Amino acid sequence: MATSRWRLLLALLSVTLFASGTTLAAPSDKPPFYRVQWQDKSAYLLGSIHIGRADFYPMPAQVEAAFTQSKGLVVEIDMNKVDSRALLQKYGGANSAQGLDWQSRDTQTVATMSQYCEGKASLCQSIQAFAPWLQAAQLNLLRYNGLGFSTDYGVDMQLLSRGGKPVYELETAESQFKLLASFDSQVQWAMVREAIEASDAELLSLVDAWRSGNEAALDTLMQEQLGGEGDLLMLDKILWQRNKVMADGMIKLMGSETANEPLFVVVGAGHVVGDKSVVQLLKQQGATVTACWQTRCD
């Protein structure tokens, strides 16, 4: 698939891996950015990426100004509080009973990995104890690191590192790990193959659409070639159901007496585009949502 299920999955979760081949200055970027108003409360909503470079910052002036005046930061999960070791032990192992161990690989995956692992024996050996979804994540991260990108420069991590604001979560780290681990062996081994076989152009297309603010392209890329029943079920599980959780969480926080507004909300860009997005769900709950690149929100 041109935009594979694994590429789609990465594009939607907080472990998202993006890279950019462009040289646009960050102030020229126009990532998906909105102001949300609900029952006299307000929040800013930024569609984000979770890997980047130093030249992504500072973000555009309107985004930086909104963050500065905000009274709280809302993220999918607060990575500073995640016990990754415990979660990986619980969800990241190569369970042979589920067909997730090295010996259970199908012939297509064996062929793909055999070619890839030539000259990378130590790397391939080091990931054998991982579940395939985690192998794929590691392989993708290594590819992006090779292109000069780091999770340290992801939007959420950069904003979390600034400190000085209360932080609220829309999800839990365990829910995301559990989701990744829930796919069957066939899907997980496909993730590994796609992590190896995806072209650089494919890796770059989503972030280029993000930086240019092309939301129609983002939505198309998210759903490209996803027409089978199984793929639609996956979209529902990894995107649409989570969009509802995020929209409900935003409304709850905006209505809370303990969360001062305006809030600054950061979620993966895939969650804010399309007809089942967080944006549309907020509107259905009576919120007024303004696209800040069409009508300035500062």
Structural domain contains residue 297: no
| d(C-alpha 269, C-alpha 32), whole Å | 7
Distances (CA, A) of 115 to 3, 109, 120, 192: 22, 10, 10, 13
Structural domain contains residue 298: no
Structural domain contains residue 113: yes
Contacts of 170 (CB under 8 A, 6+ apart): 74, 75, 76, 77, 245, 246, 249, 250, 265, 267
What confidence tier does 26 reach under pLDDT thresholds 50, 70, 90? Answer: low
Q: Mind listing the pLDDT tens digit for each residue in 28-39?
A: 789 999 999 999
Tell me the pTM. Answer: 0.88
| d(C-alpha 196, C-alpha 185), whole Å | 17
| Structural domain of 12 | 5-291
Structural domain contains residue 249: yes
What total of structural domains would you count in the chain?
1
| d(C-alpha 226, C-alpha 143), whole Å | 25
Contacts of 18 (CB under 8 A, 6+ apart): 11, 49, 50, 51, 52, 144, 149, 203, 206, 207, 210
Structural domain contains residue 296: no
Per cent of the chain over pLDDT 70 is: 87
Tokens in use for 13? 């979760």
CA-nearest of 34, 38, 64 to 47 is: 34
Structural domain contains residue 142: yes
Q: Mind listing the pLDDT tens digit for each residue in 141-168?
A: 888 788 787 888 989 999 999 999 999 9
Structural domain contains residue 229: yes
| d(C-alpha 109, C-alpha 127), whole Å | 15
